[in-house]
Structure formats: structure tokens, C-alpha cells
Structure 1
Amino acid sequence: MSLKLAIVGGGSTYTPELIDGFARLRDSLPIGELVLIDPAADRLELVGGLARRIFAKQGHPARVTTTTDVDAGVAGADAVLLQLRVGGQAARGEDESWPLECGCVGQETTGAGGLAKALRTVPVVLDIAERVRRANPQAWIVDFTNPVGIVTRALQNAGHKAVGLCNVAIGFQRKFARHLGVAPELIRLDHVGLNHLSWERGVTLLDAPGAAGGREVLPELLGGFGPEIAEDLHLPLPVIRRLGVVPSYYLRYFYQHDVVVEELRASGSRASQVAEIERQLLEMYADPALDTKPELLAQRGGAFYSEAAVQLIAALLGTGATPGAGVDVQVVNTRNDGILPFLPDDAVIEVPAEVDADGVRPLPQRAVEPLFAGLIANVTAYEQLALEAALKGGRDRVFDALLAHPLVGQIELADQLTDRLLAHNRAHLAWA
């Protein structure tokens, strides 16, 4: 089997991380052609050149092509990966800045900034998805584009064959495995929540990869490696031990909102740091002698995305190292359908799921503790209103979404944020 994959947003400086994973794990994912699609032709050519050199160095036979034409790029693709950023780092910089003027977290996926990104992104992604459906209705769409939960919900509600993927879960898996000195494949997470709003309620150490049973080791991790975990999350260790779970680091925006606001005001935006990293990376990519991903790329973010992507796509397309060996369990973003009974069926949740050539089936979950379920329900309601605003437009819908968000929730504050959001995003909102 020889697959065709397309990456929309292929001109991203992050793409060589994916390329490196595709090259190293080619036995699981036999790619014959990889198409990088991006409107930025200059970046596309630099990234495409490096991709070809990485494949060549590692002896990968795939052909790498580049195009600015979405229709041409997705034609015949078995899977299409979405990693686009509408408005680029400039828009991200604004998302991280204007909410701070109102005393709210400035972040590209959480709070008011996350809403702005969703409003810009959803219409563009749905247009691309329609093009994919016309080109090959059987193709899988794998969404890395933030905010993953809202974007994936938009895709699934529109009937697309789509699943969302984030690197938070695989990051925890790798870190826990390193603490315990075991292979990552022996760690299985009891991961529950939404994208960027999740908790590890249990960590099972398996006897063998894919084996049933195993031993619960979360208390051991918190007891023996609590300080390292707390430092990584920037959360107080006593709070983590009191909760008895490991929260996603995005929970800090909720648990320590005001502290984070002051830190962001003092440190400046992450977007400006990323923009400088990207400038340096593009200079490196232009070097015809470079044929490996540079170490600087690790500072760009997105650790382990390539491994997670290969695992997911290989399972969906039935090309794993041992085809037919059975289903794979992976943490993904997919339709709720009663798994968390306190949420609507069409909500997109982030939980372990069985993944194979027949699709994605989220695993049953034990009852979610009220401390976590309340926040999950609140943010899900916000995401529903955010999606309505992205699909239908209108100042009132933007205001409603902000008023529903647990990091906003006040009339005057929602009003101020709505005005700023619209002022900074009119160029990207057809209805504004």
C-alpha cells in the first residue's frame, strides 16, 4: 500500500517535525506522496526543500510536492492534515494582547483570544473540508488546528469524516514513562475532558503494549515525582496532590487566572517569541546542506505531534506495523454520543478511543467528579455558542459566547471584550 497525504498549512515552520516522524516511522505509515499546501509560496518552497532532504537522508521513497492550490493538493489524498493559522502570528499576537487590556488571559486557544481564533478559523476549515469531500469523500481529515475542540465539532456537525488531535496526552504519556523508566507503549492514560481542558485521573502501567489489566501508578507518580510534575505544569504541588489528578497545563489559566494575567503582562506575548524562532528557522531551512530537523524546532512547541499523528493516521488507514492485529487505543477529540452523559451528544470530548479502519469509538468513562464535570459542562456550553458565532456571525452571538465563558462571565467585561475582538478581527470576519 502506498498512501497520499496532504498537509494544509504545509508551509508552517513546524512541518519538518511531522516530516521527521513520517520518515522515522515509515513502516507504520507507507507514504508514497506527500503534498504540502500553503498560500505562502516562499515559505512553502523552503519547507518543501527541507522535507525532501529529510526524506532522502533517511531513505524514504516518498515524493514531496508543494502547491498553493487546495483543490489540486487534496485530490486523491487518503488523509488530509489541517494545521493552518488564519492571520498568522500577527493575529496570534493580537489574541494574546487585547484581552489583557480587560484583565483577562491573553492566549490563542483559551478565553477571548481562543474565541477570536475560532471565529477566524471555522469558516476557512469548513471550506477546505468541502473541497476534500469533493475530491475524495472517503478521505480522513485530521485536525491539529486550534481550537481543536471547536474546529472538530464544526467538521463533524457538517458531516465530515474528521477527528481532532492534540499533543497534551502523548506528552503526559512520554513524561510519565520517562519518570518510571519504561517504554511509552506501556503507559495508558485515564484522560478525560475537552481539548485544552483535561485531567489525567489514572495512569496504568501495562504488562505489555496493548495488554489488558495493568497496575495503577498515578499515586506512585505523584508521590515520587510530584515536584517535577508541578514544576512542569506551573501549578502548586499541594493543589495537585489534593486533587489527586494531573491537570493539563491549560488548567492553570482557570485555576490561577489572575496570577497568569500578571505574568503575561510582564513577559510579553508568546507570539513575539515564536515569530523570532520562526525567522531563525526559515533561515536554517534555506540552507541546502540542512537535512535534519534543527534543535531549535523543539522551542516552537508541539512535542511528540509527529508520533501521535503517525499512530492515528496509521490506525485509521489500517497500515500499522501489524495490520489486522486489532484496534489501537489513542486519546483523540471526537463526538461525545453519550460517553459523558452530562454533555450534548454532538459535543466534542477528549478521551481515549478505539481507533481502526472502521473509525473512532470513544471508550466508556466512569462518572466524572463534580469538580471537573462542572467546568467541562461550562466550557462545552461556551464552545457551542462560539461555534454558532463562527457559523452565523453577529455581535450578539460573540457577546453571548464571551458571557458564557468561565474566564469572562460578566456583562461589562463581555461587552468590552466583544468590542476589542471585533476591532482586531474585521479583516478576517466576512460578516463584521
Structure 2
Amino acid sequence: MKLAVVGGGSTYTPELIDGFARLRDTLPIEELVLVDPAADRLELVSGLARRIFAKQDHAGKITTTTDIDAGVADADAVLLQLRVGGQAARNQDETWPLECGCVGQETTGAGGLAKALRTVPVVLDIAERVRRTNPDAWIIDFTNPVGIVTRALLQAGHKAVGLCNVAIGFQRKFARLLEVEPGQVHLDHVGLNHLSWELGVRLGGPDGENVLPKLLAEHGDTIADDLHMPRQIIDRLGVVPSYYLRYLYAHDEVVRELGTKPSRAAEVAAMEKELLEMYGDPALDEKPELLAKRGGAFYSEAAVDLAASLLGDGGSPVQVVNTYNNGTLPFLADDAVIEVQARVGRDGATPLAVPALDPLYAGLIGHVTAYEDLALEAALRGGRDRVFKALLAHPLIGQYEYAEGLTDRLIAHNREHLAWA
């Protein structure tokens, strides 16, 4: 089995490598190709990757290349983990929206749209290269904004599934609180990427006992603290929202907070510098503890599970992924991309049935899906008017004065990445 990781020079990659090494029986990789245009980073990351494989007695070969076509040739699956523009672009996404009084964040709101506009054309170009070189390969997208990027891939006819670590993070957290194995915890996870709720937590599988009320009663303070939301809000909802919902549920509070501290991008950039220095140490043969603060917890385990199911019989039969709606949420178009539990196999992902949703959740899902429709149109076709309409449609913005100011700033800060600007 051969896998290619496009964006293999990311400081995330050792987390992925560690999972590949530990879970080699689930996903028996014979060759892993790390693809990245940054040859200097690629050398540091691949050196550590080989040492991790060697320490854990993984027989697989790790190769590197800056050539996408060469890297994806003959791969069974291609994993995308890109950040177009790097941390510098992310820093802009997290700062200029604050000038208009709006949340600055890299995957939602105006910053998330900027990232989508930069990213979608690049990802589609890579996917076309995969199709020309190796049309049978699966594309696993971990590149944000995952929902919009996955929809772009699916609409273009690619064999693609989107992946996020939010659900597996909740699964692992709830398993610790319940003192059970993670595999025993099934989430009633419903929504869109970075706009989701855990409506139930079931033991043993989709039809198991719902222990969410017990979790909230016994561990509500811990859960609320992790989400940075008041306990009484969690109790009133009776569900566990993704921590990304705080940008909507406490928008003004978050804007005030963000205006008083360095951006997350600035923190991550400093962390990445330190990590890359660590990766260059020939004595280091495991992922450093600092990497846990970088983000992406359990990403490797989710990626292994998904790849194993798409390529064979090694993964879990049911997983939370991003894929076409196809009637699952009846108030959305079939070609909307949703994030729910799905049956995953060699033919792709098929969402499980979802009960009728409370309007509190369905309304917001419909609203953000409409924004994503417009965001994808702007990413594919460009134009100031399309950017403005997408911003106006987003629930974090929604006022024409804000949308006008944000449109000007978005284009000014991203001109080098926008072919039409």
C-alpha cells in the first residue's frame, strides 16, 4: 500500500507518522511519500519520520519529493493537509476582520472565506493531477475549510472524503470521562464541518444507550470549561456544541478577547520554529510533547481509520466524515456537504439516518450552508461581488457595512493568491 501526503513538510506530519507507526496492522503502509514545495522543511520532517518508523520497527519506506505528479503516482490514497500562504496568511485571516468588529478566525467568518478562496483552486489543481496520474486513488481532505474544500472536490467528480478531528477529540474525551474504551463511544454527531453538535453519546454503537444526560450531570463543568462556554448554556441546550460554536454563541465576547492578545497564528508560528529545531535533532525519534499544543489531536488515528476503511477492511465501519448530504438532512440540497456519522468502505461514505433536528440547529445549518454555496462560487469564479455576497450571507457578519469593509480587506490581503484580483 502506498500513501502520499501533500503538505508533508507540515509540523503536523510527525503526529500522522506516529499514528501510521502505531497502527500499522490497521493500515499496512509499504511506502509513504511526503510531498511539499518547501524542501528545507521536508528534509527536517522526513528525517524525524524515518526515525519514528525505525524506533517502532515499521518496515515501510518513507520518501520525499517536491513534485506533486511524482509523489501521487501509484498512490492508493492521497492525504491533503495544505496551508496556502502559510502562517503569515493565517495571521492576516485572524487580524484584519477584527478591524471591522468581526471574529478573526482561520476557518469561519471572513478569515475562513479568505482561506477558502486561496485554497480551493490549489486543491482542485492537485486533485486534477491525481486524476491524470492515478484516477483510482482516494483523496482524503484534512485541509480547511474542510466542508467547502470537500464539496469542491466532489463537485469536480473526484473520489474524496473530508476529515476533521473534532469528533474523534470528543469521542476520546467522553471515553476518558466514562472510563471506557474509545471504541465503545458512538457520537450522534450532526452538522457541518466546524458547525456541529453532539446530540447523543451512545455506548456500544448507534443503537446503544444514550449516556449524554449522565455525562452532562456528572461532568458538565469539565465539558463547559473545555468549550469556554457557561455551564448553564450547555445544560439548557442539553447537547454538546463544537467549540467552534462559541464564535457564534458568544461573538462579541470573542471579538473582545481576540483584541487583547496575540493571534493564534503568531503563537503557532513561534511553536513551529521550535518544533522544526527539534525535528532537526538526530537523537529525536518520537513526536515531541510540544506537538500536542500545535493542534490536530488524534488526527493520525482518524486518518488511519478512514484510509483503512476506504482501501480495505481494516477501519471502523462507521466514522464521522464530510460527504454529500444525499437526503440525510432533508432541508439541504443533496450536494451539500455535511459532517455526520457514515458507513465507510471501498465505495466511499454513506451517511447514517439522522432524526429530525430542532430548528435551533437546522436553521443555523441551513444558514451556513447557504454561505458555503456562495463561498464556493466565489472561490471557483472569483469577483468582488461574489466575495461580498458570501460575506453578507455569513451569520458572523450579515450587515452590508461590515461586508463592504471586509471585502476590501480580504482582497487587499490576498491579492497575490487570487488570480482574478
> Normalized against structure 1, the TM-score is what?
0.97
Q: Secondary structure at the match of 2:30?
A: strand
Matched, 1:342 2:331: yes
Identity, % of aligned positions: 76
Q: Does 1:244 align with 2:238?
A: yes
Is the CA contact (8 Å cut-off) linking 1:129 and 1:155 kept in structure 2?
yes
State the match for 1:100 in structure 2: 98
CA displacement at 1:15 relative to structure 2: 0.1
Secondary structure of the structure 2 residue equivalent to 1:295: coil
Map of 1:355 onto structure 2: 344
Q: Secondary structure at the match of 2:63?
A: strand
Superposed CA deviations along residues 239-278 of structure 1, whole A, max 9, x for unmatched, are 1110010000000000000000000000120000000100
Please state if 1:364 is matched with 2:353.
yes
Q: How far has the Cα of 1:358 moved from its partner?
A: 2.3
* 2:392 aligned residue: 403
1:366 and 1:331 map into 2 onto residues whose CA distance is 16
1:300 counterpart = 2:298:
no
Code of the aligned partner of 1:223:
A
Deviation sequence 1:291-336 (CA, Å, 0-9, x none) = 1000000010000000000000001101417xxxxx7100000000
5 Å-filtered alignment, 1:40-79, equals 40-79=38-77
1:109–1:146 CA contact under 8 A, matched in 2: yes
1:412 corresponds to which of 395, 398, 401: 401
- Contact 2:27/2:307 (CA < 8 Å) preserved in 1? yes
Letter in 2 for 1:329: V
Structure 1 vs Structure 2 CA RMSD:
0.8
Q: CA deviation at 1:356?
A: 1.2
Instruction: Name 1:324's counterpart in structure 2.
Output: none
> Which residue is equivalent to 2:162?
164
* Preserved CA contact (<8 Å) 2:310 2:345: yes
**1:344 Cα offset (Å):** 1.0
Query: What is the Cα deviation at residue 283 of structure 1?
Result: 0.3
Name the residue aligned to 1:254.
248
1:91-112 CA distance string (max 9 Å, x none): 0000000000000000000100
Match runs of 1:133-152 below 5 Å: 133-152=131-150
Residue-by-residue CA offset, 1:68-125 (whole Å, 9 max, x unaligned): 0000000000000000000000000000000000000000001000000000000000
Q: Is the 8 A contact 1:189 1:203 kept in 2?
A: yes
Question: What is the one-letter code of the residue matched to 2:274?
Answer: Q
- Distance (Å, rounded) in 2 between the aligned partners of 1:136 and 1:362: 27
Partner residue, 1:281:
275
Q: Distance in 2 between matches of 1:412 and 1:293?
A: 46
Q: Residues 392-423 of structure 1, C-alpha deviation per residue, up to 9 Å, x if partnerless?
A: 00000000000000111111110000000000
Partners of 1:359 and 1:383 in 2: how far apart?
Answer: 23
Asked if the contact 1:36/1:67 (under 8 Å) is kept, the reply is yes
Name the aligned partner's letter for residue 287 of structure 2. K
Rounded Cα–Cα distance in structure 1 between residues aligned with 2:416 and 2:310: 37
Q: SS state of the match for residue 260, structure 2?
A: helix
- For 2:245 and 2:178, the matched residues in 1 are separated by 24
Question: 3-state DSSP class of the match of 2:88?
Answer: helix
Q: Deviations over 1:195-244 (max 9, x none)?
A: 000000001011xxxx5632110000000000000000001110111001
The alignment covers a number of residue pairs equal to 421
- Does the 8 Å contact 1:152/1:334 carry over to 2? yes
The answer as to 2:197 corresponding to 1:203 is no
Aligned pairs for 1:380-399 (under 5 A) are 380-399=369-388
2:376 paired with 1:378: no
Inter-partner Cα distance in structure 2 for 1:318 and 1:372: 35
Secondary structure of the 1:266 match is coil
Q: Whole-Å Cα distance in 2 between the matches of residues 134 and 388 of structure 1? A: 24
Structure 2 gaps, min length 5: none
One-letter amino acid matched to 1:367 = A
| 8 A contact 1:29–1:319 mirrored in 2 | no
- Which residues of structure 1 form unaligned runs of 5+? 322-326
Q: Which amino acid aligns with 1:120?
A: R
**In structure 1, C-alpha distance between the alignment counterparts of 2:90 and 2:10, rounded to whole Å:** 14
